[in-house]
Chains A and B, each alone.
Chain A
């Protein structure tokens, strides 16, 4: 069965530091991959998505992610954290042939002043 793992349920970084949130997936078919952000008591907002075009994907708010097939990974990065980046981040995967989305458990990002 397809699955998504996110290493670290809680990540803390200092303002201005690099943000790295990890996502690995398991799949027997090529995936579509997504990162979503959720602020408290709100819905999820799409940050970026990989749909088999360029392996380095740029998203909103300065985030980007790189699809590495050999590592089955889709890690999210941002060069310099901002206080407004504090939120929960979810990696998600979907596939062809009618499979629905599978979400990772989420990583809560804290940004320290």
Chain B
């Protein structure tokens, strides 16, 4: 079945450590996105990519980094510079490069900093 796979589902990290969240899609979508979700705040855009080897910062990019070396993959690294990284992270993709198609979401990764 086509879809978006995020891993790991749950991740624990000590302060000062970088962690990388995986996102893979087999929908042949051009655009991919990373969102952060905190209780009562909806979804906030971290980074997005409209095409391979190109990506743009979203509203809350500080402390995060991404790469887009392959169309199907868009990993997110949460660096030690992110001051409050505990959150639920959602990866998404869409058919239209300019945001007019609906978003398809993965199941999410919950990161907890100890």
Contacts and interface: CB of A to CB of B under 8 A. Distances in A.
Interface residues of B, number: 24
Interface of A: 9, 32, 34, 36, 41-46, 49, 51, 90, 92, 94-101, 103-106
- The 3 tightest CB contacts between A and B, nearest first, are A43-B105, A105-B42, A103-B43
Interface string B24-55: 00000000010000001111010010000000
Given A9-B40, A104-B42, A94 B108 contact: no
A35 B103 CA distance: 11
Given A100-B45, A100-B58, A105-B41, A94 B105 contact: no
A94 B100 contact: yes
Given A100-B45, A105-B40, A105-B42, A41 B99 contact: no
B90 A49 contact: no
B98 A90 contact: no
A95 B99 contact: yes
Contact of B99 (A9, A44, A51, A98): A98
B107 interface: yes
B85 interface: no
